[in-house]
């Protein structure tokens, strides 16, 4: 059940909508971040496991555990459990807009992770886009500090937790890439999300004394379990399938992945319209800087050629 090539960009865009709305859905649930992360990845991971079983079958699904058991375990605990605990916990302190903008820098941090892990040289365009990401982060940290000084809110901690999520996510993406190349994105993602969900269940249980019982989901008010299932099934199961499936089907995977940089714009619109969040000047500038970095990357070759022609003419 592969996504047809003609629908690849549509699938990627819908996947981006899922990524972009995850902060909004999480904030709308009213459930504390650590607990919500457990609900999300227990059910979202289970949904991905079902999809993988239906599409690839049990033998192919569990094959990565036979050959890369230890690597899958520690990558899932670090990349999913710790990464998404930081993500959801960040929303207890920072706004949807702040968290979404910071998390959008993940693809840029991948360049740094490739440098540290694989020794790949940083190209000029990666350095420029990396500086854009740093500038965006500085703006958001400054916004958080001002929020603390003027409003007495601790959004700075949320920004730092979101930064931890982005950094962990980037290094996870680089380390898990060889396993994905061998066994496929859906199988590895499903296993990783499920293992990460179980890791969150244990970690949040011991660390926060919150032991989530999945069997009690429908004992909660409908307004509560509705948000949980939306976050788990739409923002996790369906979103991850469309995102990875669309990228795999796209003729130009790199260009398709640029759609991810629409995330802070979509997240900001949802937060302002439905949650009543206000967009500060620093947050707006940070969004422009971070999303603008991808425009630089898309047109870098043309900009470099133009600069070279002008230099020769001079």
Sequence-distant (≥ 6) Cβ neighbours of residue 138 within 8 angstroms: none
3-state helix, strand, coil in the chain (%, to 5): 85, 0, 15
Q: How far is CA 38 from the centre of its chain?
A: 16
Question: Which position has the higher pLDDT, 108 or 280?
Answer: 280
pLDDT confidence tier of residue 304, bands split at 50, 70 and 90: confident
Question: Which position has the higher pLDDT, 173 or 118?
Answer: 173
Number of structural domains found in the chain: 1
**Does 212 score more than 90 pLDDT?**
yes
pLDDT tens for 2-17 read 688 888 889 989 999 9
Sequence-distant (≥ 6) Cβ neighbours of residue 179 within 8 angstroms: 64, 68, 71, 72, 75, 188
Helix axes 8-29, 33-56, angle to 10 degrees: 150
What are the φ/ψ torsions at residue 299 (nearest 5 degrees)? -105, 15
Question: Which position has the higher pLDDT, 290 or 164?
Answer: 164
Helix then strand count (H, E) for the chain reads 16, 0
**Does 278 score more than 70 pLDDT?**
yes
Q: Other C-beta atoms within 10 Å of 248: how many?
A: 18
Tell if the pTM clears 0.95, that is, is over it: no
Rounded Cα distance between 38 and 202, Å, is 9
Q: Other C-beta atoms within 10 Å of 62: how many?
A: 15
Instruction: Kindly report the average pLDDT of the chain as a whole number.
Output: 89
> What pLDDT, on the 0 to 100 scale, is given for residue 128?
82
pLDDT tens for 186-203 read 999 999 999 999 999 999
- Residue pair 63/142 in contact (Cβ under 8 Å)? The answer is no
> Which range among 44-48, 89-93, 225-229, 271-275 shows the weakest confidence by mean pLDDT?
271-275
- Residue pair 40/236 in contact (Cβ under 8 Å)? The answer is yes
Rounded Cα distance between 155 and 278, Å, is 14
Question: Which position has the higher pLDDT, 110 or 92?
Answer: 92
Token output for 82: 């710790």
Range of the domain at 121: 5-313
Question: Which position has the higher pLDDT, 245 or 227?
Answer: 227
């Amino acid at each position: 059940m592969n996504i047809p090539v003609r629908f690849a960009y549509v699938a990627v865009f819908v996947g981006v909508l899922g990524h972009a709305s995850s902060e909004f859905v999480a904030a709308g649930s009213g459930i504390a971040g650590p607990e919500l992360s457990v609900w999300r990845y227990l059910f979202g991971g289970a949904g991905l496991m079902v999809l993988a079983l239906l599409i690839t079958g049990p033998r192919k699904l569990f094959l990565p555990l036979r050959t890369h058991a230890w690597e899958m375990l520690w990558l899932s605990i670090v990349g999913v459990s710790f990464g998404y605990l930081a993500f959801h916990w960040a929303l207890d302190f920072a706004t949807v807009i702040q968290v979404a903008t910071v998390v959008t820098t993940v693809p840029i941090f991948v360049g740094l992770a490739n440098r540290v892990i694989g020794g790949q040289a940083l190209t000029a365009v990666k350095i420029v886009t990396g500086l854009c990401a740093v500038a965006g982060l500085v703006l958001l940290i400054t916004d958080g500090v001002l929020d603390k000084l003027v409003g007495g809110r601790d959004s700075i901690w949320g920004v730092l937790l979101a930064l931890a999520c982005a950094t962990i996510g980037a290094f996870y993406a680089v380390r898990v890439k060889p396993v994905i190349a061998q066994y496929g994105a859906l199988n590895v993602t499903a296993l990783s999300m499920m293992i990460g969900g179980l890791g969150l269940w244990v970690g949040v249980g011991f660390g926060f004394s919150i032991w989530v019982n999945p069997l009690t989901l429908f004992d909660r008010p409908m307004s509560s379990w509705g948000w949980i299932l939306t976050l788990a099934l739409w923002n996790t199961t369906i979103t991850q399938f469309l995102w990875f499936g669309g990228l795999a089907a796209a003729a130009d995977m790199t260009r398709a992945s640029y759609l991810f940089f629409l995330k802070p714009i979509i997240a900001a619109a949802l937060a302002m319209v439905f949650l009543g969040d206000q967009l500060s000047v620093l947050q707006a500038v940070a969004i422009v800087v971070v999303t603008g970095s991808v425009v630089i990357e898309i047109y870098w070759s043309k900009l470099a050629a133009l600069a070279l022609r002008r230099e020769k003419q001079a």
